[in-house]
Amino acid sequence: MSDATPSVARMRAILRQISAGGQPASVSLPSTPSPPLALSPATRWNGWGFQDTKLFVNSNKVIEISGARYAEVFANAPDRTLPSLLPWAEKRLGLDADRRSAPSITCAEELRLRNQLDEGGETYRALMQFLHLASEELGINTSMTVEERVRHGHGQTCEDVFRLRHVRDVERVPDAVVWPTSHEQVEILVNEVTQNTQIKCVLFHSEEEPTSPTR
């Protein structure tokens, strides 16, 4: 996620409306494509949004947004609070701000990744060759860290986020993550994985197969 993505533009517009006490309006999204994620991006691996930005209930029982992002939304405001948000959430959603749900898993390394590749196997060797091509020959950032693999291996539903915070065993994640920066690089990578490896389509990966797809 970056400050230029459509989702961030939508968030800015919604926050602007809420901080003004109005209703969210339709948003005109930028037409330019989102830039690629940097290695170890600032987004949460087990939740939504940026790590340095959160909504919290302050000492005055008013929702406030932390960090320095979305500064233009609050440019003419005395603070970074959203006074109408908590009353609305309590009335419409039944939110109880006093009920907290702290995660039982606090870092990605506490997770147990299942269905991992055998480091002595043919598929693992093919993956290493693929990552060597990506990083050494094409100059593409790659990662096999648990956090990056988990970050790119789940959906964005409430159930997905709950599982990451409370269920230690993770059945399926990508074996690796790559960050191509051009259409040409994507074509080379796709050709490589379809011609020379056992990497499969992530959306149709069979549960019976022992390995996870690389993204």
Give pLDDT tens digits for 25-40: 444 444 443 444 445 5
94: left (phi over 0), alpha (psi -120 to 50) or beta: left
Domain ranges of the chain: 6-93, 108-204
Cα(121)–Cα(119) distance, rounded to whole angstroms? 6
Residue 106 or 199, more confident:
106
Cα(89)–Cα(140) distance, rounded to whole angstroms? 43
- Provide the angle, in degrees to the nearest 10, between the axes of the packed helices 183-196 and 122-132: 160
Residue 11 has pLDDT above 60, yes or no: yes
Beta bridge partners of 56: 64
Within 8 A by CB and 6+ apart from 145, the residues are 108
Residue 58 has pLDDT above 70, yes or no: yes
pLDDT in tens, 125-159: 999 999 999 999 999 999 999 999 998 888 889 99
Mean pLDDT of 196-213: 55
Q: CATH code for 108-204?
A: 3.30.43.10
What does the radius of gyration of the chain's CA atoms come to, in whole angstroms? 21
Q: Quick one: pLDDT at residue 73? A: 86
Cα(163)–Cα(108) distance, rounded to whole angstroms? 12
Residue 157's SS3 state is: coil
